[in-house]
Amino acid sequence: MRGLQDDDEGAAEVGNTETTMEQAPYSHPSLPNVCFWDLPGIGTFNFPAATYLREMNFERYDFFIIILGCRVKEHDAKLGEEIKRLGKNVYFARSKMDDDLRRFQTDGGKSTEMEKIRTYCVDKLNQFGFPSPTVFLTSSRRVNEFDFPTLKETFANNLDDIKKDVFLLSLPNTTLEIVENKRKELKTRVWMLATLSGAVGAVPIPGQSFACDIGILVSAIIQFRQYMGLDDASLQRLANVTGKSVRDLKAIVKTPLVGEINKEFVIRMLLSCAFVTISAIEIGLDLVPVVGSIFGAGSSFGMTYKLLNDVLNELVENAQRVVKAAFETD
């Protein structure tokens, strides 16, 4: 979910024995406000089912993923029922599908086995008292295959608007759909930032609007680049996950927006278009009552909107090329 491999810094511990002995937080590598919590397994000697919910403080979390192994246990269904009773969303993810399907060579054979596994999980959960469960078949080694993309989309759709937006932007770029969903969300932010720029532009103080616009643009471009997975750290994580060379992934990116973004860079972008003339007129009109405010608001809004919209489109095109190359997909 965070785009990390087992041996990456900050990755969750893995093991064949009871590894998680306490609630462990794992922050997103580039969005610290997004945090996943790994909870100890239910029904073990250390964490008996009778006291599990109370000890784990379930009220604090937004949603839950119950990881199913080869055998579905009664504790899995009972835990899911208790989570639903608290008014929280719970999802069942059957893990390690790559291991289970390794011996099936044909797509037809894999599809048949996947349906057998899904049917078994659903039937067992029903039998243990969890009605009509949805089971997602997943593999942490093949994050753009099986039901992993659908699982992430389901998470997002069931969050409230603010958390949905943050969650979407936190997802690693493993599919073109994720990139496109990020574009839609960032389009909204373009409007918000342009509106903010227009509000500042309405204040008749010479030079203030232009300086504020530059600050907004620098910050937004750096954030948009990170959300689109085109910063160095994101590209390195993607290379680690896919086994591709980070140098090869960087070579696919054809935009100066992956270089250093500062005041001088943004001013050069503005100089390459007509906005520099508009800004000069705006400064000249700042001392004219009413007219200066109206012109300033409109020009600041238009300049910020146009530039950020162009930046977003350019970043999306490059992010799409990287995903296609990384996962060898169209």
Q: What global pTM score does this model have? A: 0.78
Q: What is the pLDDT along the chain (330 residues), one digit of tens a residue?
A: 888 888 888 888 776 655 566 888 999 888 888 899 988 877 665 666 667 777 788 888 889 999 998 899 998 998 999 899 889 999 999 999 988 888 776 667 788 899 999 999 999 999 999 999 999 999 988 888 899 989 988 888 888 877 888 899 999 999 999 999 999 999 999 999 988 887 765 444 444 455 677 888 999 999 999 999 999 999 999 998 888 999 999 999 999 999 999 999 988 887 766 555 445 444 444 444 444 444 345 567 888 888 899 999 999 999 999 999 999 876
Secondary structure element (H or E) that encloses residue 9, with its range: none
Task: Report the C-alpha gap between 81 and 77 in whole angstroms.
Answer: 6
Give the other-Cβ count within 10 Å of 74's Cβ.
15
DSSP type of residue 288: S
Query: Which residue's structure tokens are 């008996």?
Result: 48
Q: Taking the mean position of all CA atoms in its chain, how far away is CA 212?
A: 28
Task: Report the C-alpha gap between 324 and 127 in whole angstroms.
Answer: 42
> Two tokens at 25?
């937080």
Residue 229 burial by CB count (10 A; 0-12/13-18/19+): exposed, middle or buried? buried
Task: Report the C-alpha gap between 144 and 1 in whole angstroms.
Answer: 11
Task: Report the C-alpha gap between 105 and 317 in whole angstroms.
Answer: 35
Give the other-Cβ count within 10 Å of 61's Cβ.
17
**CATH, domain range 24-166:** 3.40.50.300
Angstrom distances, CA of residue 276 to CA of 155, 210, 283, 303: 44, 10, 11, 9
User: Pairing mode, if any, of strands 63-68 and 35-38?
Assistant: unpaired
Residue 297 is predicted with a pLDDT of 56
Contact 151, 136 (CB under 8 A): yes
DSSP letters, 173-199, are --SHHHHHHHHHHHHHHHHHHHHHHHH
Identity of the residue numbered 190: V
> Two tokens at 235?
């590209």
Angstrom distances, CA of residue 153 to CA of 20, 30, 235, 244, 272: 27, 20, 22, 25, 39
Task: Report the C-alpha gap between 68 and 94 in whole angstroms.
Answer: 5
User: Pairing mode, if any, of strands 135-137 and 24-27?
Assistant: unpaired
DSSP letters, 100-165, are HTTT--SHHHHHHHHHHHHHHHHHHHHHTT--S--EEE--TTSTTSTTHHHHHHHHHHTS-HHHHH
